[in-house]
Amino acid sequence: MTATKRQPSPLNSLLLVNIGQLLTVSSVAGNHGPRRGSDLTQIGIIEDGAILCLGGKIVSVGRTKNALRDPWLKKNRKKITEIDCAGEVVLPGFVDSHTHPVFVSPRLVDFEKRIEGASYEEIATAGGGIRSSLEGVRKARKGSLAGKVMAVLLEMAAHGTTTAEAKSGYGLTTESELKSLEAIREAASRWPGTVVATLLGAHVVPKEFQGCSQKYVEIVCKEMIPEAAKRKLAQFADVFCDKGAFTPEETEQIFAAAEEHGLRVRAHMGQLSETHLSPFLRFNPASFDHMDHVSDDDIAQLAKRDTVATLVPGANYFLGLKEYPNARKLIDAGVPVALATDYNPGTSPTMSMPMAMSLACTHMKMSPAEAVAAATINGAWALRVADRKGSIEPGKDADLAVFAVKDYREIPYWFGANHCSMTILNGVVASRD
């Protein structure tokens, strides 16, 4: 792939030509919500494609030969930065809708204990797990946390991600949660991609509140949520609703506080055990994430709604679990499904969306086309940014991933290797060479 740079481009414009397979993932007629059922396989492939972007937006999408015949383009071609994709694959930049990037150290002791046979819950009860990441974040300076987040965002972009959700959740005091959100904001302001911030003050009950979780829930509801909302540090509030974390009643309480302060809600749901979902539906959650355990009745409810089931198979892989979420059952029932990395130090230390897609194909029996749609347009739906992100269509943000492969199915096929050769984030080119 070669980029003919005539910098600075006076029109702030980019033309990608000779795209072997251009996966537009563009709208399916008659579908206005997240993709579900067989619509998930409609990824809109154009052979020998071209894309014109101006001012950070996509303005036209089609065949290379038609693009080059366009009178406006003929007249302005010299002023445009042209990228010859030489037959490579281009798809919408991935939307990684579930990540926990604000932590200080990897949890290597937990990793070894699990190899020796301890479970995630046993390690947490013995003082490892989420609680063992708190001290590092509480002590860290905001600037050093921002540096950590920035390093992850750059790695994500190198793997084709152009939009990422970023949660707090490893401080669990008002001060350290707000500091984590400020670190996310600081890193986001330096990254050309797009970040959607989520307050996860309700990650676990920190040990100083053990036995009096209600007092901690009040801090989440009366301090963290109002302050994060007032300072516009987060768009979403998340809760880890499961055994060992927060109860369904506490989750409802936290959702109600979020709603009152104008934050939208999402939740870690069904990771370790099943929780009945209907009490939460009145809050119109943007997503329920993990969903390893979910009842048939709840699946039928979700099939009628736009709440996205975000599956994070990296966590199952890294915890060495035999079971994965039942993606086939969810998709075939009509539940909108997204894929995300769940990047975090305990259960899923990967920022690679292609890896998440590979696991989705091999362990959850999703087709490569379903994995593409789940990692792009449905991720955008999970973050409620699908009006701007997740597909290659005129008017949307110029967020593109280029892969040095001939066929899009190679993206999940070559697991553990990174074939992303270029990422374009809001019109800004980040090349790997």
Q: Is the peptide bond before 106 cis (omega within 30 degrees of 0)?
A: no
* Stretch in the footprint of Fe ion (CB under 5 A) among 1-9, 132-140, 156-164, 339-347: 339-347
- Locate all alpha helices (DSSP H) within 106-199, ordered by sequence: 108-115, 120-125, 134-139, 142-158, 174-190
* Stretch in the footprint of ligand NIG (CB under 6 A) among 83-91, 257-265, 328-336, 340-348: 340-348
Nearer to ligand NIG, 239 or 366 (CB): 239
240 binds, among Fe ion, ligand NIG, none (CB under 5 to 8 A by kind): ligand NIG
- Is 330:291 a contact under the CB 8 Å cutoff? yes
- Is 165:98 a contact under the CB 8 Å cutoff? yes
Nearer to Fe ion, 187 or 245 (CB): 245
CB of 382 to ligand NIG, least distance (A): 14
d(CA 42, CA 54) in angstroms, rounded, equals 26
CB of 314 to Fe ion, least distance (A): 10
346 binds, among ligand NIG, Fe ion, none (CB under 5 to 8 A by kind): ligand NIG
Our CA dihedral for 380, 381, 383, 388, rounded to 10 degrees, sits at 50
177 contributes a contact to ligand NIG by CB under 6 A:
no
d(CA 348, CA 350) in angstroms, rounded, equals 6
Tell me how many residues contact Fe ion (CB under 5 A): 1
Q: Which of 342, 370, 397, 399 binds Fe ion (CB under 5 A)?
A: 342
Contact flags string 129-148 toward ligand NIG, x per CB under 6 A: xx--x---------------
CB of 97 to ligand NIG, least distance (A): 12
Q: For residue 392, how many other CB atoms are within 10 A of its CB?
A: 27
The contacts of residue 321 (CB under 8 Å, 6+ apart) are none
370 contributes a contact to Fe ion by CB under 5 A:
no
Nearer to ligand NIG, 100 or 389 (CB): 100
Q: Which of 97, 310, 344, 378 binds ligand NIG (CB under 6 A)?
A: 344
CB of 386 to Fe ion, least distance (A): 21
Nearer to ligand NIG, 129 or 313 (CB): 129
Nearer to ligand NIG, 317 or 408 (CB): 317
Tokens of 326: 């039942």
CB of 403 to ligand NIG, least distance (A): 27
271 binds, among Fe ion, ligand NIG, none (CB under 5 to 8 A by kind): ligand NIG
Contacts of the segment 368-372: beta carbons below 8 A, 24+ positions apart: 368/408, 368/409, 368/411, 368/412, 368/413, 369/40, 369/41, 369/42, 369/43, 369/408, 370/40, 370/41, 370/331, 370/337, 371/339, 371/412, 372/23, 372/25, 372/43, 372/91, 372/408, 372/411
CB of 244 to ligand NIG, least distance (A): 9
Nearer to Fe ion, 90 or 166 (CB): 166
* Stretch in the footprint of Fe ion (CB under 5 A) among 107-115, 169-177, 341-349, 408-416: 341-349
Q: Which of 224, 315, 374, 402 binds ligand NIG (CB under 6 A)?
A: 315
Give, in order, the Cα–Cα distances in Å from 272 to each of 269, 290, 325: 8, 9, 11
d(CA 348, CA 255) in angstroms, rounded, equals 26
171 contributes a contact to ligand NIG by CB under 6 A:
no
To which H or E segment does residue 354 belong?
helix 353-364
Nearer to Fe ion, 110 or 342 (CB): 342
238 contributes a contact to ligand NIG by CB under 6 A:
no
d(CA 67, CA 412) in angstroms, rounded, equals 30
366 contributes a contact to ligand NIG by CB under 6 A:
no
Question: Which three-class secondary structure state does DSSP give residue 62?
Answer: strand
* Stretch in the footprint of ligand NIG (CB under 6 A) among 45-53, 68-76, 128-136, 189-197: 128-136
* Stretch in the footprint of Fe ion (CB under 5 A) among 158-166, 211-219, 296-304, 340-348: 340-348
Q: Strand ranges (DSSP E) for 256-385?
A: 264-269, 287-290, 308-311, 337-339
Tokens of 275: 């929780």
**Residue number with the shortest CB distance to ligand NIG?**
346
341 contributes a contact to ligand NIG by CB under 6 A:
no
Q: Is 256 exposed, middle or buried (0-12, 13-18, 19+ CB in 10 A)?
A: middle
d(CA 171, CA 173) in angstroms, rounded, equals 6
**Interacting residue ranges for ligand NIG, rule: CB under 6 A:** 100, 129-130, 133, 240, 268, 271, 315, 342, 344-347
**Interacting residue ranges for Fe ion, rule: CB under 5 A:** 342
